[in-house]
């Protein structure tokens, strides 16, 4: 099952957007107006035309009231309600009506899940680095066991080490059959991470489908509507020079191909 958008229109920003984001898949959205799609899915925008459904249930105001933990939005600039990491976990567990006796155990479990040290529980949130705040926000959102997890501007501001941590977490969530949606205007990130991709051109869908198929499309590269991933562009240019290279996501595999064919 999955999340379905049918003929979504919102002011001048979205025009007849129809697509599906499947459970157990990493779905990417490219384009400046992706933020409006995310806000609609998260229930922050309600004055749109069209239909939004999850597992065949219409997601309207009443749906969000009955299902407060369906969607988790991980912002690139997370907001916290308290000053202390432990208090933030306590606040959210209490809000979720969880037994506070499991506070320490649950907090450590979720911190380990996102690659943060347990010692962070003793710290003031404002002493954390940007990357630590981002991963903490994810850990806290996972308290609610959401079905749909959205990462706005995924990897934005993360250092290399924490990017790797987050990528591993996202892939693990995929294995748990979560419905994962990421937005980014960096096609290199999308090509490396996602299974399916929705490309927006202004308010319209430019292309929608398999990431591998779209980002290796000769026609899309010729049209140059979007900046193609560097790694696929290199292969495309090599093919134009009659060099027998295959498309890869790892530059090391391209180097192997070069040694083999050049």
- What are the pLDDT digits (tens) for 102-119? 777 888 899 999 999 999
Strand 49-54: give its sheet, edge to edge: 14-22, 2-10, 49-54, 57-58
User: What DSSP character marks residue 229?
Assistant: P
pLDDT at 240: 66
User: What does the alpha-carbon distance between residue 231 and residue 235 come to, in Å, rounded to a whole number?
Assistant: 7
Report which of residues 240 and 229 the model is more confident about. Answer: 229
> What share of the chain in percent tops pLDDT 90?
56
Q: Report H helices in 176-250.
A: 187-193, 211-214, 218-223, 230-240
Of 2-11, 17-26, 89-98, minimum mean pLDDT range: 89-98
Residue 54 phi/psi, 5° resolution?
Answer: -130, 125
pTM: 0.89
Which alpha helices (DSSP H) does the chain contain, by range? 34-41, 61-66, 85-95, 103-114, 130-141, 160-175, 187-193, 211-214, 218-223, 230-240, 251-261
Q: How far is CA 1 from CA 20, 35, 57, 225, 242, in A?
A: 10, 23, 11, 32, 43
More confident call, 244 vs 139: 139
């Amino acid at each position: 099952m999955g999340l379905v958008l049918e003929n979504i229109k919102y002011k001048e920003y979205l025009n007849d957007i129809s697509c599906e984001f499947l459970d157990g898949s990493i779905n990417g959205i490219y384009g400046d107006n992706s933020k409006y799609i995310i806000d609609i899915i998260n229930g922050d925008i309600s004055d749109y035309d069209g239909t939004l459904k999850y597992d065949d249930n219409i997601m309207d105001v009443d749906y969000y009231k009955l299902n407060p933990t369906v969607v988790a939005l991980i912002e690139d600039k997370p907001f916290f309600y308290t000053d202390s990491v432990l208090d933030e976990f306590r606040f959210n567990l209490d809000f979720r009506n969880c037994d506070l006796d499991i506070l320490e155990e649950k907090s450590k479990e979720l911190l380990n899940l996102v690659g943060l040290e347990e010692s962070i529980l003793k710290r003031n949130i404002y002493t954390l680095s940007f990357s630590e705040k981002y991963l903490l926000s994810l850990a806290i959102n996972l308290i609610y066991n959401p079905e749909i997890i959205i990462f706005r501007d995924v990897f934005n501001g993360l250092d290399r080490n924490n990017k790797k941590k987050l990528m591993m977490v996202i892939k693990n969530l995929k294995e748990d059959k979560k419905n994962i949606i990421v937005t980014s205007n960096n096609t290199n990130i999308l090509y490396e991470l996602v299974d399916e991709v929705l490309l927006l051109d202004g308010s319209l869908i430019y292309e929608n489908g398999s990431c591998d198929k779209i980002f290796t499309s000769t026609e899309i590269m010729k049209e140059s509507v979007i900046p193609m991933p560097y790694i696929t562009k290199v292969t495309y240019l090599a093919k134009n020079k009659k060099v027998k290279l295959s498309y890869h996501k790892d530059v090391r595999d391209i180097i192997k191909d070069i040694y083999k064919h050049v």
